[in-house]
Amino acid sequence: MEFGQAGAGRRASIARVHQYWPALGVLCCSIAFTTGVGALSLASTEAQAAAPTTIGIGVAAAPRYEGSSTYHLEPFPILSASRGIFFLDGLEGGVAFPLGGNLKTGLILSTQFGRDQSDGDRLNGLGDIHTTAGFGAFLDWHPGAFDASLKLLQSLHAGYGATLTLETKYTFKLGARDRLTVGNGAVWANRGSMQTFFGVSPVQAASSAAGLPVFSPSAGFKDISTSATWVHLLSRKWSVNGTLRVDHLLGDAAESPVVEHSTSLFGGVGAAYTF
């Protein structure tokens, strides 16, 4: 199981421990949906082989929020399971329908991390952004070692907006026990999403401890990224992995007064068990 992509969406700052409670709620709903309803799908298809399930844990160093110049360490789960058309991948889950020609599409429910105003000096007085969930659809093309995906997510929190993520990946097999996956991504955000994470409203400007000016970003491409993930098989069931990713904010996101650095790094390591 690889990590550090992002999804899923998967591109907001790693949250503080207390922010994981809403994320765990999404995760529990996804697990129940996958293992419960998905089991019915398997029962109706006796010839279908059970897909392997991967569980594990990792630790990552990441910016305290998008655009932050300070980093912190946080644990995160490594999860991968599928039952029929239902799947679970990290902190998101959904249903996938094959279209033929290595194409599949489906619906997805994903965790969207927020931030605390205590995460940085520039955020003091702006208020918190709550961790919530996003619901949307995806299209994935996976011809062998190459993978390209397009994912649209609408936040379930009113006013938090929507994002469209394009990702490409290629996996190299480095012998019998190692593989390396390199990827690139780009995220487009609508005005609601940009305002939530990078904007400063008149009310926020008036209460800003740092004296931030009013800033109203427009919809557009928010960031681009490049990543590399290495996976080493210790045995048939155990593996270790590591990821390094570079994110770069673009346009109005990079020019936001809440941003301290437009380029940031993400690094993490983990261990997983497959059965």
- pLDDT for position 39: 39
Distance of CA 65 to the CA centre of its chain: 14
HSE at residue 273, side-chain half, CA atoms within 13 A, is 3
For the chain, list residues with pLDDT below 70: 1-50
- pLDDT for position 50: 61
- pLDDT for position 206: 98
Please state, in angstroms and rounded to a whole number, the distance separating the CA atoms of residues 232 and 242.
9
- pLDDT for position 28: 52
- pLDDT for position 17: 41
Do the Cβ atoms of 64 and 72 come closer than 8 Å? Answer: yes
Helix (H, G, I), strand (E, B) or coil at 3: coil
- pLDDT for position 51: 82
With residues binned 3-state (H G I as helix, E B as strand, rest as coil), the percentages for the chain, rounded to 5, are 20, 50, 35
Which of 7, 13, 56 has the alpha carbon at shortest distance from 241?
56
What backbone phi and psi angles, to 5 degrees, belong to 66? -60, 120
Structure token pair of residue 34: 């996958």
- Going from N- to C-terminal start, the domains of the chain cover 17-274
- pLDDT for position 9: 36
What backbone phi and psi angles, to 5 degrees, belong to 231? -125, 130
Structure token pair of residue 82: 């599928």
Please state, in angstroms and rounded to a whole number, the distance separating the CA atoms of residues 259 and 48.
49
- pLDDT for position 214: 98
Do the Cβ atoms of 187 and 162 come closer than 8 Å? Answer: no
Residues pairing with 79 in the sheet: 55
Give burial (CB, 10 Å; 0-12/13-18/19+) of 68. buried
pTM score, two decimals?
0.83
Place of tokens 């210790």: 234
Amino acid in the structure at residue 153: L
Is the Cα dihedral 58, 60, 65, 67 positive or negative?
negative
Place of tokens 């649209």: 152
Secondary-structure class of domain 17-274 per CATH: mainly beta
Residues pairing with 141 in the sheet: 103, 148
Please state, in angstroms and rounded to a whole number, the distance separating the CA atoms of residues 12 and 25.
18
Which of 249, 187, 14 has the alpha carbon at shortest distance from 114?
14
Structure token pair of residue 116: 């605390």
What backbone phi and psi angles, to 5 degrees, belong to 37? -65, -35
